[in-house]
């Protein structure tokens, strides 16, 4: 038995709120997971917020929770997230948690579980978004507490938001992802925001995510299809030889991607609410990504200011030299 993986496959169990049965999205998810054990529950929080969970172990074999969100569905963007110059910046919580498992992910600090929740009452979200749009243009990150593109084999949220935004010019939609997908909507107000890191950072800290080469191929496919593309170098992660590592990385990006076609660029270093750091460290024991002796500033754990400036400067200066200065947004 030694050496065998005794953990069940991912999504071996699907917990479904009683009230979530009958929704089209629920039925589609369940039909594509025919072998999973379905467990009826009264409320997703009974499973998602259950005390005593071990996210470290759960990360190796995540389960899925299907629920109806009758609480808050939209939240104002956090001050440590880039608003790319928009006044009304919100994010939608259409799912919680992510199929990937980056060591530095704030979700590991925020949630005490690795299981993924998908909310299925999409019409309620869209109606609420319509009401919000009546008050003026909106910048909405739809893939914030999750990675909707990575979940696109499981639920239809990516398509739902794409279709919705395609016919609403007042809405600027951002779909942020580390996943590689093939389908894009070519609209100015639907932004595919690809998070990029050096291959060394991906291998060490971005577990289960596609390689840098795969992400670059996906970005080029998106550009070929006429999609609006944002590149996010965020979060940059400190490692001992970060200068060499990130310089070689920018060389590769500049060589492989036609950056004149990119809408804009976001750059930032790792940061997390001080309240979340201990949970994050417990979820990734020993990971160098989260063991740094962070400074505390305004309730957030951050790298020291000098280091942040040096790190972001590596990418910022190269992009400025390449003539992209006006399209570069740095979270310092």
**Residues near ligand SF4, by CB under 6 A:** 98, 100-102, 105, 107, 147, 178
Cβ nearer to ligand SF4, comparing 23 with 111: 111
Starting at the earlier edge strand, list the strands of the sheet with 64-67. 37-41, 13-17, 64-67, 116-119, 95-96
For residues 301 and 203, give the distance between their C-alpha atoms in angstroms, rounded to a whole number: 24
**64: helix, strand or coil:** strand
For residues 161 and 175, give the distance between their C-alpha atoms in angstroms, rounded to a whole number: 9
- Please report how close the Cβ of residue 203 comes to ligand SF4 at its closest, in angstroms: 14
Residue with tokens 């398509």, as numbered in its chain: 159
Cβ nearer to ligand SF4, comparing 102 with 171: 102
- Please report how close the Cβ of residue 325 comes to ligand SF4 at its closest, in angstroms: 27
- Please report how close the Cβ of residue 197 comes to ligand SF4 at its closest, in angstroms: 10
Q: Which residues contact 222 (CB under 8 A, 6 or more apart)?
A: 184, 192, 194, 229
For residues 248 and 233, give the distance between their C-alpha atoms in angstroms, rounded to a whole number: 14
Cβ nearer to ligand SF4, comparing 122 with 177: 177
Q: Which residues of 183-207 are buried (b: 16+ CB within 10 A; e: fewer)?
A: ebbebebbbbbbbbbbbbbbebbbb
Cβ nearer to ligand SF4, comparing 100 with 249: 100
- Please report how close the Cβ of residue 97 comes to ligand SF4 at its closest, in angstroms: 8
- Please report how close the Cβ of residue 95 comes to ligand SF4 at its closest, in angstroms: 10
Cβ nearer to ligand SF4, comparing 102 with 315: 102
């Amino acid at each position: 038995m030694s050496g065998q993986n005794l953990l069940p496959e991912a999504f071996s169990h699907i917990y479904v709120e009683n009230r979530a049965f009958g929704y089209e999205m629920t039925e589609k998810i369940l039909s594509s997971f025919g072998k999973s054990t379905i467990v009826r529950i009264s409320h997703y929080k009974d499973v998602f917020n259950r005390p005593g969970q071990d996210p470290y172990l759960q990360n190796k074999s995540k389960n899925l929770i299907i629920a109806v969100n009758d609480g808050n569905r939209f939240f104002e963007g956090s001050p440590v997230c880039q608003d790319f110059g928009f006044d009304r910046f919100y994010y939608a919580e259409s799912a919680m948690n992510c199929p990937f498992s980056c060591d530095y992910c704030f979700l590991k600090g925020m949630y005490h579980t690795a299981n993924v929740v998908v909310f299925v009452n999409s019409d309620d979200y869209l109606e609420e978004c319509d009401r919000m749009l009546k008050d003026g243009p909106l910048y909405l990150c739809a893939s914030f507490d999750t990675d909707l593109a990575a979940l696109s084999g499981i639920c239809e949220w990516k398509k739902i938001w794409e279709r919705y935004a395609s016919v609403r010019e007042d809405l600027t939609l951002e779909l942020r992802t580390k996943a590689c997908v093939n389908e894009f909507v070519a609209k100015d107000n639907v932004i595919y925001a690809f998070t990029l890191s050096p291959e060394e950072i991906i291998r060490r800290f971005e577990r289960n995510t596609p390689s840098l080469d795969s992400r670059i191929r996906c970005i080029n496919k998106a550009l070929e299809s006429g999609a609006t593309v944002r590149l996010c170098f965020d979060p940059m992660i400190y490692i001992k030889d970060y200068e060499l590592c990130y310089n070689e990385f920018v060389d590769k990006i500049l060589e492989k991607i036609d950056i004149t076609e990119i809408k804009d660029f976001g750059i930032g270093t790792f940061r997390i609410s001080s309240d979340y750091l201990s949970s994050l460290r417990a979820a990734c024991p020993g990971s160098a990504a989260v063991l740094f002796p962070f400074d505390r500033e305004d309730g957030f754990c951050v790298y020291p200011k000098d280091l942040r400036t040096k790190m972001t400067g590596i990418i910022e200066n190269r992009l400025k030299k390449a003539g992209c200065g006006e399209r570069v947004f740095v979270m310092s």
